[in-house]
């Protein structure tokens, strides 16, 4: 490789703790982010937000702009969804994570999001990475399904180089030969990233698994391996969800889920919020 | 899969022949596209264009905007490169292929390019795909290194659905466990895509191989397997190239290369331009 | 698929508990198997056996016959190693797991081993599988690095069909594009195998990781995801090991390791031996 | 890697030409091996042998011992099949290639085979490799579906180290994420192996493709990329074949196939037998 490698993302000294509207991600903290795939309606996002808050999770997720493999699939509510996220935050106090797909939507998304998500398909979308480097919003950067850890860190480097140091990395499953599940969760990435970078590392087991019943075992595995947090899909009534229903946790089971993963995180040395 | 699959891209009836400034791509035609990785200077792009024309290739490639894994790598000349491409076309008569990375550059790129390339990292960049569906420029859509053929065709569907039927698919190597070469050229994709879609299918062996000496054997393989064309990197003096020098064909060898791949294409049933 | 799929391996009713010389593997039990890569000397295997016993692990592993990628690498002590394993068992009371590579060694290996291991490279060695189906020894069947779960279960089916129902499956990392570690531990395989089969599922994190410092995080992940046990490499002085030293746990740290992974297993619902 | 790498297999000087009962494989020669998956009956193997001879192919293939993923699939005729192969050779004069699975069958197989095939699942079966190093029969060594080229060459090294220099390497598709076809033919392996080793390199497109209509395009690709030969499945009546029917060439089309692939091989610099 003649290319210069990552510099600002490297290092194992003091760990970066990202401040999201007063909630800390990384370091000794363990963070659960939960919510529906898409901000599909006012009712669903508000109900989800209450479930997430009551379950003891720390952040609300929900997509206004949805990158979809097929042009015939539901594409998300767009800007109207951003307004509903703001309303959900206002009611529950939960900071919100939402995805940015189009550089032209940056102002609209940054006006609402507490954390801007860059999806797996956009991990190497350099105009987006460059613009996010100029904002002061934390960035949740998902690993592409065929991206090496070095490529992930070089993508983070684009944001860091622009002046924005608040990057959270997210492992979400890689593409392998195994067809028994959607993606193969790369749990090894967690301790290896911790050796390579000071940035927080969270895991999205929902997109990796593609099936609800796998989400909790994979979440326990990720927490036990040292992840700084989880981002899971949860919906009040997954059977009615407009997207990703089969992999969404059922709202009423979310509290038990949060309790269990926090115990696993404690095993890996995390201090539980509840213990504070 | 509950998602609706591709519709407009499907079909094996009459094959789409894309008209690029009077040159036909697809059907019985075989097209060689060649040129440097980047439009690195006036001298290099003009010299390259003459080499490409004199070698009997049909289109000139060259990047003004370069997607690079590292933010510290050369990022291309930008808009100045587009002007140089226009000059090279004017001098040689060769239509030009160049990459679009940022939706905000669409007008500038479309103002010069005869074919707009969407790179492998942007295969699922839906805002770009959607905008390209609204232009009347042919689109060269490269397969992502971990994209299935179905995902590639669904990405093409975004462009077709927007009203632009001039899509050329490009296989450029997939990511596998083998570390002996950069990517594994998926030669099987050629006949399988021909069964699935009416769109032309070309191959980029340069990025797959990563090494000059592999480019000709892979090109012969692709042509013999039925590809509608090739896109290769070529530079007057690869040792001095600012990027991708090790995988660039040497300018003076390009004529022999074109002759050889056309013989392989003829084996697969193509009518050679030279034979007309 | 026109092939008939697994039948005897299928099912999620009563879980198979394999009896290894009075120790149970599977069901509510959690088992740690540890020991050196190879039975390299009398001193090392006896010292290892004492460390394994004192650490609270349940079985001793050690290879007499070593499958090696290169013919120039150390190939194991052969039959002499089997005698040393028997001696180690006699001294410590630990049942022993050792690998069979050659069908001609079956009697010798079965004469000593409490569990016969079939290595990843031999997962589809049908003569070996067939012969093991005729023995009454438990079989530890490692998943090949590119084997699907269906192929693993069909390999197990060869043994079950022969009349030997005591098969323990072992995930040990799969081959992917990621080059940051030797193999990618497929933690998703654990809950999915639990859905597909009644057989016990253990994990070998040592060969997956290739590096000692990754073994504990991966082990915690596997236990938290519901594995029925672990098989790890451990050596009194890894720096002096004839093979796999870099991935071997240090003998004196084994007790702490066993304690930690048992806590993770408890989270996943296992009853600890210590608690009995 | 601390392991010693291949030595005897390395080198790009004089190319090894393997003598198979008077027919040369490697160097300037191009060899087509064809025949049914299994020696399923006297009628089929004799009819196949005549088709193969009349089509101008050089060797007959056919399996007596079949490695099958499922224990419930057809396992081959065993020793009776060897006798039928000998009869087919006697009638047609074609040397025969057949697979060895079990070290205990070595004498029986070596008593009939002109080339002993080691299948992809047994590429790292070290007892078999070691025994084959002691025979004087040419060995056709198939690459495992997840084996790197280095591992393939180290497997060959086991045979060479034993004193048997007549090893023919065979690429037959690797396992990747793409599910549109059984395996992904790794055409890049052909020129890269030619750079790494002096041993002949042939290609099996039938097992890679899994579908008849892909076999010819992949064969043309392999020949054009410089392969020393092809091994294809062909059957008089594929619809009635006991195994691999869907990927078998139809007997009556074999002559046209051989003619086409020889033209592609000529492009890559081979001297055609017909030209002698």
Question: Which among A70, A102, A175 has the least Cβ separation from residue B3?
Answer: A70
- Provide the phi-psi class of A67: left if phi over 0, else alpha when psi is between -120 and 50, else beta: beta
* pLDDT reported for residue D276: 34
| Residue C70 DSSP code | S
Across the interface, do C224 and A149 touch by the CB < 8 Å criterion?
no
* pLDDT reported for residue C4: 59
* pLDDT reported for residue D4: 60
- Contact residues for D59 (Cβ-Cβ < 8 A; gap 6+): D20, D23, D31, D32, D33, D34, D52, D94, D95, D96, D97, D114, D115
Question: Which among D4, D126, D175 has the least Cβ separation from residue C72?
Answer: D4
| Chains touching A (3+ CB pairs < 8 Å) | B, C, D
| Residue tagged 């009416």 (tokens) | B198
Across the interface, do A126 and B158 touch by the CB < 8 Å criterion?
no
Tokens of B247: 């995988």
Instruction: Quick: pLDDT tens for C165-183.
Output: 999 999 999 999 998 999 9
Which stretches of chain A drop beneath a pLDDT of 50?
1-2, 274-276
* pLDDT reported for residue D2: 44
Average pLDDT, chain C: 95
CB of A179 within 8 A of CB of A155?
no
Residue range D243-248: mean pLDDT, rounded = 93
C74 touches chain D (CB under 8 A): no
| Residue D186 DSSP code | B
Residue range C263-275: mean pLDDT, rounded = 84
**E strands of B174-260, at which residues?**
201-203, 229-235, 249-250
Tokens of B164: 């632009």
CB of A173 within 8 A of CB of A183?
yes
| Model confidence at C275: pLDDT above 50 | no
Across the interface, do A221 and C217 touch by the CB < 8 Å criterion?
no
CB of A237 within 8 A of CB of A40?
no
| Chain D residues 148-177 with a CB less than 8 Å from chain B | 148-150, 174, 176-177
Give, in degrees to the nearest 5, the angle at Cα C225 between C223 and C229: 35
Question: Which among A3, A67, A71 has the least Cβ separation from residue B157?
Answer: A71
Is ipTM beyond 0.90? yes
| Residue C275 DSSP code | G
Residue in D37, D34, D138 with CA at minimum distance from that of residue D92 = D34
D250 touches chain B (CB under 8 A): no
The CA distances from residue D117 to C121, C229, D226, in Å, are: 18, 38, 21
Burial of residue C27, with CB atoms counted within 10 A of its CB: 0-12 exposed, 13-18 middle, 19 or more buried: middle
Beta carbons within 10 angstroms of residue B72's beta carbon: 16
Given 3-state DSSP classes, what are the helix, strand and coil percentages for chain B, each rounded to the nearest 5?
A: 40, 20, 40
Across the interface, do B192 and D181 touch by the CB < 8 Å criterion?
yes
Instruction: Please state whether beta strands D167-171 and D201-203 pair in parallel, antiparallel, or not at all (unpaired).
Output: parallel
Residue of B nearest to C183 (CA): B177
Lowest average pLDDT, out of B56-60, C185-189, D271-275, goes to D271-275
Q: Report the interhelical angle of A189-196 vs A149-161 (nearest 10°).
A: 40
* pLDDT reported for residue A4: 59
Across the interface, do B104 and A104 touch by the CB < 8 Å criterion?
yes
C68 touches chain D (CB under 8 A): yes
Name every chain C residue with its beta carbon within 8 A of the beta carbon of B183.
none
Handedness of CA C105, C107, C112, C117 (dihedral sign): positive
Chain-centroid distance of CA C67 in Å reads: 15
Whats the size of chain A, residue-wise? 276
Backbone angles phi, psi at A114, to 5 degrees: -90, -30
Across the interface, do C187 and A192 touch by the CB < 8 Å criterion?
no
Tokens of B44: 């290099």
pLDDT in tens, chain B (276 residues): 445 589 999 987 899 999 999 999 999 999 999 999 999 999 999 999 999 999 999 999 999 999 999 999 999 999 999 999 999 999 999 999 999 999 999 999 999 999 999 999 999 999 999 999 999 999 999 999 999 999 999 999 999 999 999 999 999 999 999 989 999 999 999 999 999 999 999 999 999 999 999 999 999 999 999 999 999 999 999 999 999 999 999 999 999 999 999 999 999 999 885 433
Across the interface, do D225 and B218 touch by the CB < 8 Å criterion?
yes
Whats the size of chain B, residue-wise? 276
* pLDDT reported for residue C273: 57
Residue range C13-26: mean pLDDT, rounded = 96
Instruction: Quick: pLDDT tens for A211-241.
Output: 999 999 999 999 999 999 999 999 999 999 9
Lowest average pLDDT, out of A178-182, B36-40, C83-87, D168-172, goes to A178-182
* pLDDT reported for residue B4: 59
pTM comes to 0.96
- Interior/surface letters D237-252, b for 16+ CB within 10 angstroms, e for the rest: ebeebbbbbbbbbebe
The CA distances from residue D255 to D56, D208, D258, in Å, are: 7, 21, 5
Handedness of CA D125, D131, D136, D137 (dihedral sign): negative
**E strands of chain D, at which residues?**
18-20, 23-25, 31-35, 59-61, 96-99, 115-118, 139-142, 167-171, 201-203, 229-235, 249-250
d(CA A181, CA A203): 17
Residue in A155, A89, A166, A150 with CA at minimum distance from that of residue A127 = A155
CB of A234 within 8 A of CB of A206?
no
Task: Give SS3 for B67.
Answer: coil
Task: Give SS3 for D79.
Answer: helix
């Amino acid at each position: 490789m003649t290319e210069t490698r990552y510099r600002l993302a490297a290092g194992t000294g003091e760990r970066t703790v990202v401040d999201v509207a007063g909630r800390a991600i990384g370091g000794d903290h363990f963070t659960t982010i939960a919510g529906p795939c898409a901000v599909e309606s006012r009712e669903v996002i508000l109900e989800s937000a209450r479930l997430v808050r009551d379950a003891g999770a720390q952040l609300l997720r929900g997509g206004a702009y949805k990158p979809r493999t097929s042009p015939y699939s539901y594409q998300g509510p767009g800007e109207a969804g951003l307004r509903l996220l703001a309303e959900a935050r206002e009611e529950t106090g939960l900071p919100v994570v939402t995805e940015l797909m189009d550089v032209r939507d940056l102002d609209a998304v940054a006006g609402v999001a507490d954390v801007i998500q860059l999806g797996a398909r956009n991990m190497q979308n350099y105009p987006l990475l460059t613009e996010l480097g100029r904002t002061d919003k934390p960035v949740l950067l998902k690993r592409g399904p065929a991206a090496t850890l070095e490529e992930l860190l070089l993508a983070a480097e684009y944001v860091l180089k622009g002046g924005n140091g608040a990057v959270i990395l997210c492992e979400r499953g890689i593409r392998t030969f195994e067809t028994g599940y959607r993606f193969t969760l790369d749990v090894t990435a967690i301790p290896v990233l911790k050796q390579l970078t000071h940035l927080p590392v969270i895991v999205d087991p929902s997109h990796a698994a593609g099936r609800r019943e796998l989400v909790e075992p994979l979440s326990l595995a990720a927490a036990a391996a040292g992840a700084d947090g989880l981002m899971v899909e949860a919906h009040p009534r997954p059977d009615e969800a407009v997207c990703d229903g089969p992999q969404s946790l059922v709202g009423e089971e979310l509290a038990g889920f949060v309790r269990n993963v926090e115990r696993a995180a404690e095993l890996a040395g995390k201090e539980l919020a509840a213990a504070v």
